[in-house]
Amino acid sequence: MIRYNMSKLDQINEMILEELAAAVNREVTLPNALITITYVNCSPDLQQAKIGFSVLPDGLTGSALRHLTGATSQLISILQKRIRLRKMPRLIWQFDATEKEANKIEKLIAEANED
């Protein structure tokens, strides 16, 4: 979905996020885990894209990173079929600990309210 008040780079980031999230759900299998693509940040020259992901449960982060890294060429191939770009950026996987940190903060707030 392209929004008119977004910059071209923001539109590309959003398109890659949507397509990559769907492709990861279909193609990357990690038993007893859920991998979520949280953000995509392409460089202005589209040479690389930093892809944030989160994993539930947290203990499978390393396994998820290995699976994602191993499936990168397959995922790029899927993206090239679904998104028309002159050059597809190189994908750089980064663990996004935002949800993990939010859970810690919620737990601390709950503990503070109990006291």
Q: What is the pLDDT of residues 98-110, one digit of tens each?
A: 777 777 787 888 8
Helices (H), the chain: 8-27, 61-70, 72-82, 98-114
Q: What is the pLDDT of residues 66-77, one digit of tens each?
A: 999 999 999 999
Q: What is the pTM of this model?
A: 0.79
Mean of pLDDT values over 32-59: 93
Percent of the chain with pLDDT over 70: 96
* 8-114: CATH, from 3.40.50.300, 3.40.50.280, 3.30.300.20, 3.30.70.1140: 3.30.300.20
- Beta-carbon contacts of 84 under 8 Å, excluding residues fewer than 6 positions away, are none
- Beta-carbon contacts of 66 under 8 Å, excluding residues fewer than 6 positions away, are none
